Each structure stands twice: as structure tokens, then as C-alpha cells.
Structure 1
Amino acid sequence: MTERASSAHISPSAHYTGYVWYRHRLAEPAFVTGFGRFVHGLLSPISWAARVGFDLDIEQLLLQRHLQIDAQLTAAIEQDGVTQVVEIACGLSPRGRRFTTRYPQLRYLEADLPAMAARKRGLLGAQGWLGARHRVRAVDILAEQGEQSLAALFAELDPEQPVVVITEGLVNYFPLALIESFWARLAEQLRGFPQGRYLTELYPDLKEHPRYRQLRWGVGLIGRLTRGDYPLHYSSNEAIAEGFQRCGFRQVQVFDPSRDAPALGLAPSRAAGLVRVIEARA
């Protein structure tokens, strides 16, 4: 497998996760694609074998990260008055639809590579869900200038209002040096707002975890499906926090969603978690 120098190979997994969100009543039928349904069916025997043989539930991991990010976003809106959200690498995420329906005051900007952004814009537009409060535009997290850069994206926001930025299912597709360069540029943009925070997930390199070998097998499969590496980043919660602070984030919290499973509406986890959700403030 090869190291990624672009974002171009991420989109296939968006179809799979889009179907997972629908299966678990987090998305409306419009978010389902034929390709997503096909890939889910194709991988079902592998998912079943991983769950039964290795106690590794792939969909549970996806739900843990998704619902933990939802919980942190809900708190930011209800407790801290956040009024605008940017979801980068939005793929077929239903979060923008759910949160703009729930919070009429919220402005939600979804962003992805041009092809996926166009598909998402068409999907939402066909349902009549787009408008002044809910928009989609193209972005490339590796572009340092131009109309697809972070600077151009954030220029469309109100600099007087707090903002939350979300990436889900993005970080581990890139080598650490590349994703840290994105985080540094993101932190710089967020410092231009009265409150700026970033929500994301990552799979750390927990070599002491009892399911580590199974996790390596699982991420290897993801890499093959998306034609690139799927590296694990950092070896502990402390290393995660230090990494984000090096990139310019002032305050960092690391969550293990498996510990909050009942509060997230999920079954209690029998093993220590494999995924982490990070809330970083600039």
C-alpha cells in the first residue's frame, strides 16, 4: 500500500458509513446509495467473523465515534451558544440534516472534495434541505491557498460568532505529519473566532490493547479498500493531547466513547475502547 499524498481515495468509505448511519436510524433513506448498500452487504460476512471471532464490532466503533461527536456538538450548541458548524470531509454524513432540523438558529456548512461536495449538494438539494442555513462547498484540506483552501472556506463564516469544526472518518487516512499540518492551519483559522473548537476522532496506536492485532487487521482491510495506508496515530491519550497542542490548540480533551456507551444509547462495551474522540479548542 502507498502513502497518501491527496484526499482522492477517501470517498468510497463514505458510501459504506452512509449506509451504516441509515441502518441505525441516524439517517433518512435519501442518504443511502446503491454502492453503499452493496459494500455493506459484501463486507457483512467479514464484519460477522470479526465480531464473533475477535470481539471486534466494526459498526459499534463507527457508532461510538459518531454519537460521541454528536454529544460534544450538542453540548457546544446548548451550553456554549455555538451558532455555526463546519463539517469537513462530510461525505454522506447525515449530521447537518439532523442538527439544522433540531436547532433552527444553527448555520451548517458542509465541505468535501469537489466530486463528493457536488454529490452531497445534489442529494440535499433534491430533498429541499439546502438554504441559507445549510450549504455545501468544495474544499481540499491539503490546499494551502486558492478557492478550495481552509482560508477561503472560513471566509464564508461570521467571524463574530463561535464555530465548531468537525471531521469524522478523515484523520487516519493520512500520515501523521500531513494531518498535523492540516491541524496547524485549522488552529490558525479558528483563532479568528471568539470561540473556536474542533471535534474529530482517531484510532491510536495502542500496542498494549488486547485487541491490537485485530485492529491492525481491520485497518489493513480499510487501507486495501481505499487504495492507501491507514496509519494509527499516537500511543496514548497523553500523546494525543500533546500532539494537538503542538499544532496550536490551547485546550484538548480526549474521550473514550466506550466508557460513555450507555449515555450514548449504546450497549456497554466489554473491552477498552479502540477509538478516541478529541475536542480541541484554539
Structure 2
Amino acid sequence: MSPRARTDSVHISPSAHYTGYVWYRHELSEPAFATGFGRFAHTLLTPLTWGVRELSGLDLENILLQRHLLLDARLGEAIEQGGVRQVVEIACGLSPRGRRFCQRYPRLRYLEADLPAMAARKRLLLHGEGWLDSRHRVRDVDILAEQGELSLASLFAELDRSEPVLVITEGLVNYFPLAALEGFWTRLAAQLAGFPQGIYLTELYPDLREHPRYRQLRWGIDVVGRLTRGGYWLHYRDELEIVAAFRKCGFAQVEVHDPDRIDIELPRLNMPSMLRVIEARAA
């Protein structure tokens, strides 16, 4: 793995503390997942996120909740109706999802993965609470590594190739430029193709220029990019471009879920949501 690849990945992890505290605030996780830094960051940024919401309409906290709950809903359906018994959450950060779903589904095997420093912290947290076992594990990964011990191939070598698998990434893909992102998806699709069923769940924020508050939203998104110490790319114009991109990367079936057009109960925004949850299946 090149030094450049490592540099490009590192800037994402600090935002995990902020989102981890949001989950805790809304009773989606246990106290162990709420760090002191997350509490400090949330308190410090509250006036700024309020200003962004008032000026642009971008309600960061409700968007984070929409994202998390919609991904949970699609994962739950894949387990209950699709026979999924092994899950990989890449860029797991301080996500409580592995803990919650292992409690809910006793037969589920859950593998969390992140960059080495974040994975070490997550492993220590789960171990300290007595939550790590043969069903729930944490490993190191770098989505930009094309080979070696941090690559997807190394991570997937731990899985049972005779059973379906679902991979989930949350709060990850919009931080990367297009070439790096589609390279990751291509490698991921190749790995998933080796299973009887391979599903990938993630979220995107397309560049919806027809959105009634596009200019204000674009400003708010730029602020988010600065807060997370990196760029925040809106790679695709619409759902057709999203579907085409995933198919180009090797996925055979692609569904785009819009929070405004689904039946499950989610926090609502005072304008059309820009969030899209993608459910892609490997060939």
C-alpha cells in the first residue's frame, strides 16, 4: 500500500466520534460508544450545525439518523428474508450496529473493519465490554489497499464462502474522489462474486441540481467537507447515473432507496431528502 493511499484514508476516522455520539443521543447505542471527544465535538459544533440548518436547510443530525435507520432496515430485511448470516461492516468507526444486530440475531456472524488505529480502538471497546466473541470480531482494512494484509481480499479470506454475505459501509464513500471510490467498488464486487449471494449497502448524496434549495445545500455540504478535514464529493447527478456506475463496477442488480418514498418511519426533513441508500448485488 502506498503512503498516498494511507494518507487519503486517514482523515475519515475523527468523524466517527461525532456520529457515535449522535447515535447515543438518540438511544441507538449504549454509553460505551459515546466518547468524550464525540461529546465535545457535538457540543462545539451545535451552533454551527444550527446555522447550517437555518441557512441551507441541511439538518445534519436528522440526515445522519435517516441514513443509519434506513441502512438498518435494509440489513434487517436481508437477514430475515434473504438468509444472510454473515455481515461485514467496513469503516465501522464507533457504529453500534454490530452490537445491536448480534443481540437481535443469535446466529449472525458480524465482522467489523476499519483502518488500524480505529479498529484497535473499536476492538478495545468491544473487548472491554465483553462483547467480542467468535461471532463478533474486528479486523484492520484499508479500502484503497489493492493487495496485502489490509486489502479486501485479506479481509474476505475470513468469511465462509459457502454462505451469503452482506457488506455495509456508512459515512464513507462521499469522502473519496471518483476514481478511488469506483476502484474500491470494483474490488468489492469481485470479492462478493465468490459467494452464493453478495449484497452491498451504502449511501450516496447525488448532485441533485434540480433540488429546490440546491445552492443552499451545496454551501452546507461544503461546510461539512471542511468539518471532516477533507473533500465531500457529490459524484452522480441522479439515480440513473448511480445505477450505471455500480453496474460498471461489476454489480448486477442495483436498487436506489429514497427516504421520501419508503414506508418505514424515519426522521423527516423540511425539504426533499438528498440521501439515497444503495442496495447492490454482485453477479
TM-score (norm 2): 0.95
- Aligned AA for 1:263? I
CA 258–228 in structure 1, closer or farther in 2 if over 3 Å, else same? same
- Aligned AA for 1:276? R
Q: What pairs with 1:240-279 in structure 2 (closer than 5 Å)? A: 240-260=242-262, 263-264=264-265, 266-279=266-279
Secondary structure class of the residue paired with 1:137: strand
The C-alpha deviation readout for 1:144-170, integer Å capped at 9, x for no partner, is 111110000000000001000000000
Secondary structure class of the residue paired with 2:139: strand
For the residues of structure 1 that align with 2:20 and 2:73, how far apart are their CA atoms? 19
The C-alpha deviation readout for 1:197-221, integer Å capped at 9, x for no partner, is 0000011111111222232222222
- Aligned AA for 1:257? P
Q: Contact 1:259/1:269 (CA < 8 Å) preserved in 2?
A: no
Aligned to 2:226: 224
Aligned to 1:178: 180
CA 9–268 in structure 1, closer or farther in 2 if over 3 Å, else same? closer
Match of 2:148 among 146, 149, 166: 146
Q: Contact 1:258/1:269 (CA < 8 Å) preserved in 2?
A: no
For the residues of structure 2 that align with 1:212 and 1:65, how far apart are their CA atoms? 20
Q: Contact 1:161/1:195 (CA < 8 Å) preserved in 2?
A: yes
Measure how far apart 1:5 and its partner are: 5.8
- Aligned AA for 2:272? A
Secondary structure class of the residue paired with 1:250: strand
Aligned to 1:115: 117
Aligned to 2:137: 135
The C-alpha deviation readout for 1:9-36, integer Å capped at 9, x for no partner, is 0011100000000011101000011111
Secondary structure class of the residue paired with 1:229: coil
Aligned to 1:23: 25
For the residues of structure 2 that align with 1:163 and 1:192, how far apart are their CA atoms? 10
Measure how far apart 1:229 and its partner are: 1.2
CA 53–97 in structure 1, closer or farther in 2 if over 3 Å, else same? same
Aligned to 2:93: 91
The C-alpha deviation readout for 1:218-277, integer Å capped at 9, x for no partner, is 2222222232211111000111011100000000000112333x623x344442111110
For the residues of structure 2 that align with 1:252 and 1:72, how far apart are their CA atoms? 13
Secondary structure class of the residue paired with 1:110: strand
For the residues of structure 2 that align with 1:4 and 1:227, how far apart are their CA atoms? 15
Aligned to 1:161: 163
TM-score (norm 1): 0.95
For the residues of structure 2 that align with 1:141 and 1:46, how far apart are their CA atoms? 31
- Aligned AA for 1:275? L
Q: Within the alignment, does 1:234 sit opposite 2:236 as a pair?
A: yes
Aligned to 1:76: 78
The C-alpha deviation readout for 1:78-131, integer Å capped at 9, x for no partner, is 001100000000000000000000000000000000000000000000000000
For the residues of structure 2 that align with 1:263 and 1:143, how far apart are their CA atoms? 37
Q: Contact 1:4/1:173 (CA < 8 Å) preserved in 2?
A: no
Q: Contact 1:201/1:277 (CA < 8 Å) preserved in 2?
A: yes
For the residues of structure 1 that align with 2:267 and 2:42, how far apart are their CA atoms? 22
Structure 2 spans left out of the alignment, 5+ residues: none
Secondary structure class of the residue paired with 1:11: coil
Aligned to 2:201: 199
Measure how far apart 1:4 and its partner are: 9.4
- Aligned AA for 2:257? F
Measure how far apart 1:52 and its partner are: 3.2
Identity rate, percent: 69
For the residues of structure 1 that align with 2:260 and 2:271, how far apart are their CA atoms? 8
Structure 1 spans left out of the alignment, 5+ residues: none
- Aligned AA for 2:160? D
For the residues of structure 1 that align with 2:193 and 2:267, how far apart are their CA atoms? 38
CA 259–43 in structure 1, closer or farther in 2 if over 3 Å, else same? farther
- Aligned AA for 2:158? E
